[in-house]
Amino acid sequence: MKSWTVRKGKPEDVPGVMQLVRELAEYERAPHEVTNTETAMLLDGFGEVPAFGLFVAEMNQEIIGIALHYARYSTWKGKMLYLEDIVVKEHLRGKGIGAELFEACLRHCVDMNYAGMTWQVLDWNEPALNFYRKYAANLDSEWINGKLLLAEIQKMDLT
């Protein structure tokens, strides 16, 4: 019998969410990359114009898992849901919590009439790759990720 519930995230969940974000950064060997704050996440997710949606898994009033998502637009497909992160506390992985969070995002995708859902996964993260393979997900190795951080952009002459 499961001992957790999955629900939409609320502002008071943000401290627990940030704890899981930091845990994910440790797992992905990049804790120094986390510059987001609880204050920013609260405003960005629950302010006047939310930038993301959130599902949380909760057990005994503790956030034990998250699925953070937002809308994106594909010129080829139209409206898509982007799953930014799905995280479950390490000691609780393998119990179906991640699957329930993932499926909450899939249902949201259907409810919002999106053309599909996309996400990224690190090529060395075999547990995550195997998780997505259970859903017969298309794991595309052809695309290379690009990014520029604000500090890098600010150094450019954009006049």
What pLDDT band is residue 18 in, cutting at 50, 70 and 90?
Answer: very high
Question: What contacts 48, CB < 8 A, 6 or more positions away?
Answer: none
132 an active-site residue? yes
Q: Whole-model pTM?
A: 0.92
Structure tokens at 97: 């919590």
Architecture of domain 5-154: 3-Layer(aba) Sandwich (3.40)
Among 27, 114, 132, 135, the one annotated catalytic: 132
CB < 8 Å & 24+ apart, contacts of 95-99: 95/2, 96/2, 97/4, 97/6, 97/57, 97/64, 97/65, 98/65, 98/131, 99/131, 99/134
Q: Tell me the C-alpha distance between 45 and 49, whole Å.
A: 8
Q: Tell me the C-alpha distance between 6 and 101, whole Å.
A: 7
pLDDT digits (tens, 9 = 90+) for 101-129: 999 999 999 999 999 999 999 899 999 99
Quote the pLDDT of residue 131: 94
pLDDT digits (tens, 9 = 90+) for 43-91: 999 999 999 999 999 999 999 999 999 999 999 999 999 999 999 999 9
Rg (CA), the chain: 16
Q: Where are the domains of the chain?
A: 5-154
